[in-house]
Structure 1
Amino acid sequence: MSQTTAPIPPLRYALALWAVLFASSVPAVYLAQTVGGEAGGWPAALWFMAGSQLPWLLATPVLWRLCRRWPLGMGRDLRHGACLLLLGAGVTPLLSAMGWVLGSWLSQLHPWGSLPDRTAAVRAIAATALFAAPTFVAVIGLGQTLAFVQRYRRRGALLDQARQTALRQHLHHHFLFNALNAIGGLGYQRPADADRALAGLSDLLRDAMACPPQRTLAEEVAAANDYLALQRLLRGMPLTVQWRLSAEAWQCQVPSLLLQPLLENAVRHSGWEQAEAALEIDVRADVAEGVLRLSVRNPHGLAPQIPPAGTGSGLGNLRQRLDALHGARGSVQAAVEGDHFSVRLRLPAIDAQEWA
C-alpha cells in the first residue's frame, strides 16, 4: 500500500457518465422517431445512440487529461478558458459528425450508398453539433471537477506528510532535550556511564533520523529496547518491560517512534526517577477485527514526592500523528486505574506485506 495519492482513473468515470447519457437518450430518440413517423423502433434507437456516442466516449479521457493541463480556478482562467473554447469549437463538430455517420450506419436508417446528399448531411451534422454543445460543456465541467478533486487529494496528502514530519521533529527535540539533561547530571557522578549513555543516545538519534515514517511493530520494539537500555544506564536501577504481543501484532505497520513517547512518559511520570525502586512496565498488543490494540501500563507514585506533571505534549503529539494518518480509525485513551496509569491505542492493523 502506498500513501501517495493515486491518479483518478478517467476511463471508469467516462464509462459511468456515458452509460447515464445513453440510458436517458435512447427513449428520446425512440419518441422522436415515433413522432416523426420514422420506422426502426427500439433497436434503431439503441444502435443510433451507441454509434453517435462512441466517439465521445473514446474522446472523453483525452478531454479530461486536457482539463488537468488547462485547469480553471488556478489563476490563469482567461487563457485556459480560451483554450477550452477553441477546443470545443473544433472537437464538437468533428465528434458530432463521426457520431452521426456511425450511428446512422449502425441503425440502418441510412445504409452506405443511401446517405443524404451533401447539403442535407451538412445541415444534419450542424444541427447535431449544436445539440452536442451542452454535451461538450458537461464533459469539460466534469473533467474540471475531477481535476480539482485530484489536486485537492494530492494537496491533502502533501499537507499530511508535512504535518507528520513536523510532529516527528518535535518528538526528536523533546527526547533529545530530556536525554541530554539526564546525561549532563550523570557526568558528575559516573563519567564512564555518561560516555556509554552518549553512545547509546547517538544510536537512538541515528535510528530516529533514518527510520521511515512507518515500520513494523517488531522494529518499534527493538528501538524501544534500545531506549530502555539507555534509561537503565542513566538510573542504575531495575527497569523491566513485560512484552505481551500476539503473533499477528508483530508484523503490523505502525508509525515510527510510536512506543518511545509512551515509555518515556512511564519513566518520567511514574516516580521511578526519584525513587529507589524498580519499575515494571506492561506492554500488550493484539489484533481483533482488523484493529491493532496496543496498551502501555505502568505504576505511578513510586516516589513519596509526586513528580511534576507533564505538559501532555507526548500524548498530544501521538494523537495528532494518528489522526493525520488514520483519522477516526486511530485513537489514544489515557486513564488512571488505581495505582497504575495506562494508555490504550487503537489503529488499523496493516500487515507489512500489504503496505509494501
Structure 2
Amino acid sequence: MRDEGSFSNHFFLPDFCRDSTLLLVILIAELLAVVLTLAHSGTSEHFWRSLALISLFVQWIALGWVALLCRLGAWLNRLAPAAAAAIAYAIVLLITLTVSALTVWLANRVMPSTTGDTSLDAQFVLRNALICAIVAAVGLRYMYMQHEWKRNIEARTGARLAALQARIRPHFLFNSMNSIAALIRSRPTVAETAVLDLAEVFRSALEEKDWSTLSEEFELSRHYLALESLRLGDRLQVEWDVESDLGDVRLPALSLQPLVENAVYHGIQPRPEGGAIRIGAHRSNTSLHISIDNPLPSDSTAQHRGNGIAVSNLKERLALAYRGEARLETRVDDGRYLVQLTLPMGDNYARHDRG
C-alpha cells in the first residue's frame, strides 16, 4: 500500500490503493447493482439471479478501474487537478466499454444469436456507458467537493494553530518575566534555569510544524509547568504516569500544552490550597491513551468554560489529523476534571510538517 503522505494536498482523487477506499468502491458498486436489479427485475423469483449477474458485471468494472487508478495514482498526482479528473473519467468510461464489449462477446459465444441482430448488443454497451458516465461524473464531483471542504478545514485549523501559538505569548510571558525578574538577585541559578525554560517553551510554540512526538509534547509541558511553579510554588504539584517506549509516537503539535495550561489556570490557580495535576500515557493495542486531570475549583462554571475552548479546538484538529478515528472525551469524576485522548498509532497518520 502506498503511504498517504505521498499524495499532494491539492490532489482531490483518493488513494485507490488503500483498503478503505477499495471497500467503499465495492459497497457503492453493489448498491448500484441493487438499484439496477430493482429497475429491471419484474418478478421476485428472478431478482436474486439478476442481482448475482448484475453484481458480477458491475464489480468487474469497479475493480478494473480501481486497479488501474491505483497503478496510475502517483502519475495522476503530478498532473493538474482538471487533467487528472479528465483522465480518471476517461479511464472509468474505457473500462466500462471494455467490460461491456467482452460481456457481449462472451454471451454470443455461449448463446449465439439466431437472428444476427446486433442492435441489442450495441444498446447494452451504450446504456452501460451512459450509466457509467453519469455515476462517474457525480462521483468525481463529490470527491472534489469533499476535497475542497477538507482544504477549508485544514486552512481553518492552520489558522487556529497559529492563533494558539500566538495565545501562549501575552499573559504567560508577562507572568514568567516577572517571576524571573524577582529571582535574578536572590536566586540567580533558578532564574537562569527559568530563562532556559521560557526559551524552550517559545521555541516550541513558534516552530511551524503540524506534527510532533510525544516526548517533545511532554518536554514542552515540563518546561511550561516549571515556569508556572515559580509563580504558584507548592500550590502546583504534578504527577506523571507515562509508559516507557512511547516517546517516538507522533501526534499533532501543541496537543498537550493547551490542556496542561487549562489545568493550571482553571484547576489549580483558583484554589487557594492548589492541587495536583495528573498526566498519564499508555499504549493499548494500536492506540495511545493520554489523560490529563486536575481538581475542580469552587467555581466549576468558569473552569468548564475555559476548558471548552481548548477542547473544541483540539477536537477539530484531531478529527482532521486522524480522519475521525481519534477520540477526545471529558468528564467530571470525584471532584476532578478529566480529559482523555485516544489516538491511533502508526505512520499512516503522520503527515509532512509545514516549513
Q: TM-score, normalised by structure 1?
A: 0.60
In 2, the alpha carbon distance for the partners of 1:100 and 1:320 equals 48
The equivalent residue for 1:149 is: 142
Q: What is the one-letter code of the residue matched to 2:139?
A: L
| Candidates 111, 119, 132, aligned match of 2:125 | 132
Instruction: Determine if contact 1:245/1:285 at 8 Å carries over to the other structure.
Output: yes
- In the other structure, the counterpart of 2:345 is 350
2:330 paired residue number: 333
Instruction: Give CA-to-partner distance per residue, 1:136-160, whole Å, 9 cap, x none.
Output: 1111112113212322332243233
Residue aligning to 1:81: none
Letter in 1 for 2:345: I
- Which residue identity is paired with 1:343? L
Is it true that 1:183 corresponds to 2:200 in the alignment? no
Report the alpha carbon displacement of residue 161 of structure 1 after superposing the two structures with TM: 2.1
- Report deviation, 1:175: 1.4
Q: Is the 8 A contact 2:16 2:66 kept in 1?
A: no
Of residues 161, 175, 190, the one that matches 1:168 is: 161
Counterparts of 1:1-80 in structure 2, within 5 Å, are 2=4, 7=14, 9=16, 68-69=85-86
**Structure 2: which 5+ residue stretches go unaligned?**
42-52, 70-81
Q: Distance in 2 between matches of 1:265 and 1:144?
A: 48
- Residues 204-244 of structure 1: CA distance to partner in whole angstroms, max 9, x if unpaired? 22223336433332332122112222323455657542211
Match for residue 226 of structure 2 among 229, 242, 258:
229
Supply the distance in 2 between the matched residues of 1:107 and 1:265 (Cα, whole angstroms).
Answer: 73
Aligned counterparts of 1:230 and 1:186: Cα–Cα separation in 2:
8
Cα distance in 1 between the residues matched to 2:99 and 2:295 = 77
Q: Which residue of 2 aligns with 1:75?
A: none
1:205 to 202, 205, 211: 202
Secondary structure at the counterpart of residue 224 of structure 1: helix
**Counterparts of 1:97 and 1:274 in 2: how far apart (Å)?**
74
Residue of structure 1 equivalent to 2:45 = none
Q: Report the Cα distance in structure 2 between the residues aligned to 1:105 and 1:308, rounded to whole angstroms.
A: 77
State the match for 2:306 in structure 1: 311
Counterpart residue identity of residue 243, structure 2:
S
Query: Contact 2:282–2:288 (CA<8 Å) still a contact in 1?
Result: yes
Residues 68 and 265 (structure 1), Cα distance of their counterparts in 2 relative to 1, 3 Å cut = same
Corresponding residue for residue 253 of structure 2: 256
For the residue of structure 2 that corresponds to 1:311, the secondary structure is: helix
CA distance 1:239–1:273, shift in 2 (3 Å): same
1:297 aligned to 277, 285, 293, which one?
293
- Cα separation, partners in 2 of 1:95 and 1:329, compared to 1, 3 Å: closer
For 2:66 and 2:343, locate their aligned partners in 1 and report how far apart those are by CA, in whole Å: 40
State the SS of the aligned residue for 1:7: coil
| Counterpart residue identity of residue 254, structure 2 | L
- Hey, what's the Cα distance between the residues in 1 that align with 2:162 and 2:198? 16
Shift in CA distance, 245/137, structure 1 to aligned 2, threshold 3 Å: same
Distance 1:20 1:305 in 2: 59
For residues 161-201 of structure 1, what are the alpha-carbon distances to aligned partners after superposition, in whole Å with 9 as ceiling and x for unaligned? 22331222222122112212213533663456777655533
Corresponding residue to 2:317 among 312, 321, 345: 321
The aligned amino acid for 2:334 is: E
Partners in 1 of 2:66 and 2:313 — Cα distance?
Answer: 48
- Inter-CA distance 343–322: structure 2 relative to 1 (3 Å threshold): farther
Are the counterparts in 2 of residues 331 and 346 from structure 1 also a CA contact under 8 Å? yes
The match for 1:113 is none
SS at match of 1:346: strand
- Partner letter of residue 264 of structure 1? E
Greater radius of gyration (CA): 1
Structure-1 separation of matches of 2:14 and 2:167? 38
Quick check: 2:268–2:294 contact (8 Å CA) kept in 1?
no
Number of corresponding residues: 295
Is the Cα–Cα contact under 8 Å of residues 217 and 251 in structure 1 kept in the other structure?
yes
Partners of 1:268 and 1:281 in 2: how far apart?
Answer: 11
Shift of 1:260: 0.9
